[in-house]
Chain A
C-alpha cells in the first residue's frame, strides 16, 4: 500500500473515530438544550401565573385557575395544562372533563414530591410530549424579608406547597428542529471532513512529490544510470534529502563506471566475451557472442561453458583448470566453438581470472576471436603456394620430358607408317604412339599451367570466347546423350583476359561435366550475364550440368593439382587446377555449388572500364 493511501486511510479512520462520537455528542447536547429550553419556557410561563395560581389552589377555585391555565396553554403551545393539589387531584384542567380526577401515575407522584420543576418526555396519544410539572408555593411574607436580609435559606422554610401545575408540551416541532439541526451539523461535518481530506491529499501529494522523484532517481541509479539529478522543490528536510541524493548521484557518476557504460563497451566489442563462474557456469555474454553462436544472452546464462565447445566436457574442464590453477590465464588457444545450429566456428580462445578488490577469485572472463575468415585466407594462401610449387615443378619436368618425348613420338609414328599389314610389331608400335601422344598432351597441359602468368590479356567479350569454345564442346557432346545449351546475355561489358585461356576454362568445365554425366542423359548449360555486387560490376560465366554432383567430402580438394576422381589413365588431375589458376590470374573468383543432379560452377571476372582497359 502506498504511503499516501496509508495516511488517507489513517485520517479517514481518525475522522470517523472522532466525527461519529462528536456528532452523537452534539445530537445529545442539542436534544438536552432543546428540552431544557422547552422546560424553562414552561416553568417561566407558570412562574408568571404562580401568584394567582396560589390563590386559586388555596381556594380550589376552577374559575380562577382555568383562565390562568389557558393563558399558559396559549403561551407554551401545550396540549393541555392542569392544576393539581398536593394529593394529585385535578383542581382545574384545560380539558374541563379531567376535573376531579386523581392522577396516581409514577410521574405525577414523583412531581408531587419534588420541590423543583420536573420534566419528562412521554408518549401520549402516539405523539412525543414533554410533561413539565412546576410546584406552586405560597411564601410567608412575615419572616421572608428579614430572613432574606439575614441570609437564611428561605427556599424550604418560608414556603408552603400549594399544588402543582403540569403542562404537556408537544415535541414534534422541537424534534423537527433537532433533526434539521442535526442534518445541518452532519452536513457541515461532512463537508468540512471532505475539504480536510482533499487538503490532506493535496498536501500529501506536495509532500510526496520529492519522495516520488527520489524513488524514481534511486531506481535509475539501481539500473546503473549514475549522475541522475532531481529538481529540489523545497527547502525543508526533503529538500535537504534531495540535495544529498543529487550529491551522492554525482559522486557515483564520477567515481563509478556505470553498468550502461560497461554494457555499451561490451555490446560494441567485435569479439565474443564470456564471463563465467569458477565452476564454469556462464554468467554473462555480450552481443558478439550472440551474433557468432546464435544463442541469446538469456539462453546462455546459467549454462555450463562446455555446451559451446566441440569436445565439450574435456576442453571446458581444461580451460577452467588452466585458467584457475595452472597459469591463471590461457592465451590464444585454438579451439572450435559450436553454434546453436551445430556449426563449427574456429576461434582463438583466451581467458583469465576475475578478482574482486580484495584479490579473491570471483570468476573467469574469456574472449573468443572468430578465426573463420582467417582460416579461409590461410587455406587460400596454402592452395596458392601449393599450385605455385606444382607449377614450377611441372614447368621443369615438362621442359625436360618434352624433347625426349618428341623423339619417341617421331620415331614411333615413322615406324608405324612403315609397318606392313599383319606385322606383329603393329600393336606395340601403335601403343607406343598412342601413349606418347597422351604424354605429349599431359606435357602440353603442364606447360600451359606453368605459362598462365606469362600470357597477354586484352579487352575481351566473353560471349566471343564462349562461341569459340562451344563448337568444340558440341563436337564432343555428339558422342553422348547430353544436351548442350548456351544462354548468352548480349552487350556484356568487356573484361581484361586471354581468349584462349578463357576458352580453356569453358572447355575444361564442359569436359568434366560431360564425363560426369557419362553415358546417361542430361544437359549442360553455359550462361553469361552481368552481375553487380557491393558496387562492383562483374561478368559472370556459369556452367551448369545435371550430373551426379560432387560429394561434399571432396569439394574442398577439387582444385588441388593431380586430384581426380576419374579412372587411371583417363584424367590427369590438372583440369580444375588449371581453371583455378587461370581465374586467379584474371582476378576473378570461382564458386561451386553441387548437389545430386545439379552442379554449378560460377566464375566471375571483374569488369574493366575503358580507361582501365586502355591502360
Chain B
C-alpha cells in the first residue's frame, strides 16, 4: 500500500513538474518573442496585456500572435505594469483584470477572455470591442437541442451585469428553437439552493452561461450535485467544467478567441469601422458520457463522432 502511495505521489509530482515545465517553456518562448519585439520592433502601435500568465490567457495570446502575424509588446499584469507609449493605438487585453486596467482613452481596446467583465463606455471613451468567450446564444442552444432533442425548457442561472446583453434576443430565440428560457439571476449565492429546489420538475435542463460571477467553485458544485441527483442535464460554458462533471459545453477554443482578437487588431489598424462585440463562430462541443448516462441520455456512435471532446 505504501509503495502504491509513493508511486502515486511520484506520478503526481512528475505531472505537476511536467505542467510547470510546459508552462515555463511557453512563458519563456513568449518572453523571448516579447524581448525580440521590444528590441527589434520598430512599431509598438499594438500591445497585448494579459491578466496573468495562466494557461487559458497564454493560449489566447498564442492565437492572437498567429492571427495578427506580427510580434507585439506583451505585458503580464500580475508581473508588471504595461508601458504604453504615445504611439500605441490598439491594446489587446486578455482577461478581465487586463480589460479593466486604466488605459489611455484614445486607444482602441479589444478585450477577450473576460467572461465576467464588461467595460462600460464611460470607463473607456475610445473604441471598445468585446470578444465573447462563448458563441451566440442561439447557436449554443441549437447545439444543446441536438444533444438533448427533448429539450423544451431550460433554466439559465446568472449573476453578473456583464451577461445581461448576452440574452438580448431571448424571445426570438425561443420562437426559433422552440425552447423556453427561464432566466434566474442569483444575486446572493445563498439563495441558489432555494432556486434549484424550485426548478425541480419545471425544467428539462440547467445552463450556466459564461458568467464569472456566477460560476464559482461553490456554485458549480452545488448545481452539479443537484442536477446529477435529479437527472437534469447541466450545460456549462467551458469544457474544463465538463471535465469536472457537467453534461456538455458549447464553446470556442481560446486560440480561436485570440485569433479573433488578432483579426480585429489588424482590422483596426486599417479602418475606423469596428463592431462593438464579436462572438466566436468556430464551435467546440464537449460531452461527459458518465453524466449523460446519469441523465438517461444515449448517443449513437455516429453522433459521438461529431463531438470534438468526449469525457468518458
Interface residues of A (CB under 8 A from B): 25, 28-29, 32, 142-143, 145-153, 157
A146 CB contact (under 8 Å) in B96, B240, B243 = B96
A162 CB to nearest B CB, Å: 18
Please name the residue on chain B nearest to A151 by beta carbon: B240
Indicate the member of A25, A28, A145 with the most B CB atoms within 10 Å: A145
A151 close to B241 (CB less than 8 A)? yes
B280 CB to nearest A CB, Å: 14
A143 close to B116 (CB less than 8 A)? no
Can you report 21 residue pairs joining A to B where beta carbons are below 8 Å apart?
A28-B2, A32-B1, A142-B96, A143-B54, A143-B95, A147-B56, A148-B216, A149-B115, A149-B211, A149-B212, A149-B237, A149-B241, A150-B133, A150-B238, A150-B254, A151-B240, A151-B243, A153-B54, A157-B52, A157-B54, A157-B78
Q: Compute how far the CA of A442 lies from the CA of B113 in the bound complex, rounded to whole angstroms.
A: 175
Q: Compute how far the CA of A367 lies from the CA of B282 in the bound complex, rounded to whole angstroms.
A: 121
B238 close to A146 (CB less than 8 A)? no
Q: Compute how far the CA of A150 lies from the CA of B240 in the bound complex, rounded to whole angstroms.
A: 7
A142 close to B97 (CB less than 8 A)? yes
B96 CB contact (under 8 Å) in A28, A143, A152 = A143
Please name the residue on chain A nearest to B20 by beta carbon: A156
Indicate the member of B56, B239, B254 with the most A CB atoms within 10 Å: B56
Please name the residue on chain B nearest to A32 by beta carbon: B1
A150 close to B97 (CB less than 8 A)? no
Scan residues 244-289 of chain B and give those whose CB is less than 8 A from a CB of chain A: 254
B71 located at the interface, meaning its Cβ lies under 8 Å from any Cβ of chain A in the complex: no
B187 CB to nearest A CB, Å: 15
Q: Compute how far the CA of A142 lies from the CA of B211 in the bound complex, rounded to whole angstroms.
A: 14
Q: Compute how far the CA of A269 lies from the CA of B162 in the bound complex, rounded to whole angstroms.
A: 128
Instruction: List chain B residues, Cβ under 8 A from A150.
Output: 54, 56, 113, 115, 133, 238, 240, 254
A29 close to B116 (CB less than 8 A)? no
Instruction: List chain B residues, Cβ under 8 A from A148.
Output: 212, 215-217, 220
B67 located at the interface, meaning its Cβ lies under 8 Å from any Cβ of chain A in the complex: no
Known: A28-B1, A28-B2, A143-B96. A149 touches B116 (CB 8 A): yes
B117 close to A146 (CB less than 8 A)? yes
Instruction: List chain B residues, Cβ under 8 A from A28.
Output: 1-2
Known: A148-B215, A149-B212, A150-B56. A143 touches B241 (CB 8 A): no
B134 CB to nearest A CB, Å: 10
Q: Compute how far the CA of A457 lies from the CA of B198 in the bound complex, rounded to whole angstroms.
A: 152
Contact with A along B136-173 (1 / 0, CB 8 A): 00000000000000000000000000000000000000
Instruction: List chain A residues, Cβ under 8 A from B210.
Output: 149
Instruction: List chain B residues, Cβ under 8 A from A152.
Output: 54-57
B56 close to A151 (CB less than 8 A)? yes
The DSSP consensus for interface residues of chain B is loop
Instruction: List chain B residues, Cβ under 8 A from A25.
Output: 1
B6 CB to nearest A CB, Å: 12
Give the top 6 A-B pairs by smallest Cβ distance, nearest first. A151-B240, A152-B54, A150-B56, A146-B212, A149-B215, A145-B212
Please name the residue on chain B nearest to A36 by beta carbon: B5
Instruction: List chain A residues, Cβ under 8 A from B1.
Output: 25, 28-29, 32
Given contacts A146-B116, A157-B52, 8 further A-B contacts (CB under 8 A): A142-B96, A143-B54, A147-B54, A148-B220, A149-B115, A149-B212, A149-B215, A150-B56
Tell me how many residue pairs across A and B have CB atoms closer than 8 Å.
73
B8 CB to nearest A CB, Å: 13
B114 located at the interface, meaning its Cβ lies under 8 Å from any Cβ of chain A in the complex: yes
A152 CB to nearest B CB, Å: 4
Scan residues 216-251 of chain B and give those whose CB is less than 8 A from a CB of chain A: 216-217, 220, 237-241, 243
Contact with A along B80-99 (1 / 0, CB 8 A): 00000000000000011100
B122 CB to nearest A CB, Å: 21
Instruction: List chain B residues, Cβ under 8 A from A147.
Output: 52, 54, 56
Instruction: List chain A residues, Cβ under 8 A from B115.
Output: 146, 149-150
A145 close to B216 (CB less than 8 A)? yes
A145 CB contact (under 8 Å) in B52, B213, B237 = B213
Q: Compute how far the CA of A146 lies from the CA of B56 in the bound complex, rounded to whole angstroms.
A: 10
Instruction: List chain B residues, Cβ under 8 A from A153.
Output: 19, 54-55
A417 CB to nearest B CB, Å: 155
B51 located at the interface, meaning its Cβ lies under 8 Å from any Cβ of chain A in the complex: yes
Instruction: List chain A residues, Cβ under 8 A from B117.
Output: 146
Scan residues 82-133 of chain B and give those whose CB is less than 8 A from a CB of chain A: 95-97, 113-117, 133
B52 CB contact (under 8 Å) in A29, A32, A143, A149 = A143
Instruction: List chain B residues, Cβ under 8 A from A149.
Output: 115-116, 210-212, 215, 237-238, 240-241
Instruction: List chain B residues, Cβ under 8 A from A157.
Output: 52-54, 78
Please name the residue on chain B nearest to A115 by beta carbon: B16
Please name the residue on chain B nearest to A28 by beta carbon: B1
Q: Compute how far the CA of A157 lies from the CA of B79 in the bound complex, rounded to whole angstroms.
A: 12
A145 close to B116 (CB less than 8 A)? yes
Q: Compute how far the CA of A287 lies from the CA of B105 in the bound complex, rounded to whole angstroms.
A: 141
Q: Compute how far the CA of A55 lies from the CA of B26 in the bound complex, rounded to whole angstroms.
A: 35
B140 CB to nearest A CB, Å: 15
Indicate the member of B5, B52, B133, B220 with the most A CB atoms within 10 Å: B52
B114 close to A151 (CB less than 8 A)? no
Instruction: List chain B residues, Cβ under 8 A from A151.
Output: 56, 238-241, 243
Q: Compute how far the CA of A131 lies from the CA of B89 in the bound complex, rounded to whole angstroms.
A: 58
A37 CB to nearest B CB, Å: 15
Q: Compute how far the CA of A148 lies from the CA of B115 in the bound complex, rounded to whole angstroms.
A: 11
Q: Compute how far the CA of A25 lies from the CA of B3 in the bound complex, rounded to whole angstroms.
A: 12
Please name the residue on chain B nearest to A141 by beta carbon: B216
Q: Compute how far the CA of A148 lies from the CA of B133 in the bound complex, rounded to whole angstroms.
A: 14
B309 CB to nearest A CB, Å: 12
Please name the residue on chain B nearest to A150 by beta carbon: B56
A139 CB to nearest B CB, Å: 10
Instruction: List chain A residues, Cβ under 8 A from B243.
Output: 151
B97 close to A145 (CB less than 8 A)? no
B216 close to A146 (CB less than 8 A)? no
Q: Compute how far the CA of A157 lies from the CA of B23 in the bound complex, rounded to whole angstroms.
A: 12
Q: Compute how far the CA of A28 lies from the CA of B1 in the bound complex, rounded to whole angstroms.
A: 8
Instruction: List chain B residues, Cβ under 8 A from A145.
Output: 116, 212-213, 215-216
Contact with A along B39-72 (1 / 0, CB 8 A): 0000000000001111111000000000000000
A154 CB to nearest B CB, Å: 8
Scan residues 1-15 of chain B and give those whose CB is less than 8 A from a CB of chain A: 1-2, 5
A504 CB to nearest B CB, Å: 126
A592 CB to nearest B CB, Å: 110
Instruction: List chain B residues, Cβ under 8 A from A146.
Output: 51, 95-97, 114-117, 212
A384 CB to nearest B CB, Å: 115
Q: Compute how far the CA of A482 lies from the CA of B233 in the bound complex, rounded to whole angstroms.
A: 152
Q: Compute how far the CA of A261 lies from the CA of B245 in the bound complex, rounded to whole angstroms.
A: 91
A114 CB to nearest B CB, Å: 11
A80 CB to nearest B CB, Å: 28
Instruction: List chain A residues, Cβ under 8 A from B2.
Output: 28, 32
Q: Compute how far the CA of A446 lies from the CA of B155 in the bound complex, rounded to whole angstroms.
A: 165
Please name the residue on chain B nearest to A29 by beta carbon: B1
A377 CB to nearest B CB, Å: 105
B299 CB to nearest A CB, Å: 23
Instruction: List chain A residues, Cβ under 8 A from B254.
Output: 150
Q: Compute how far the CA of A490 lies from the CA of B216 in the bound complex, rounded to whole angstroms.
A: 148
Q: Compute how far the CA of A146 lies from the CA of B54 in the bound complex, rounded to whole angstroms.
A: 11
B163 CB to nearest A CB, Å: 12
B85 CB to nearest A CB, Å: 27
Q: Compute how far the CA of A539 lies from the CA of B279 in the bound complex, rounded to whole angstroms.
A: 157
Instruction: List chain B residues, Cβ under 8 A from A143.
Output: 51-52, 54, 78, 95-97
Q: Compute how far the CA of A370 lies from the CA of B55 in the bound complex, rounded to whole angstroms.
A: 125
Q: Compute how far the CA of A173 lies from the CA of B244 in the bound complex, rounded to whole angstroms.
A: 38
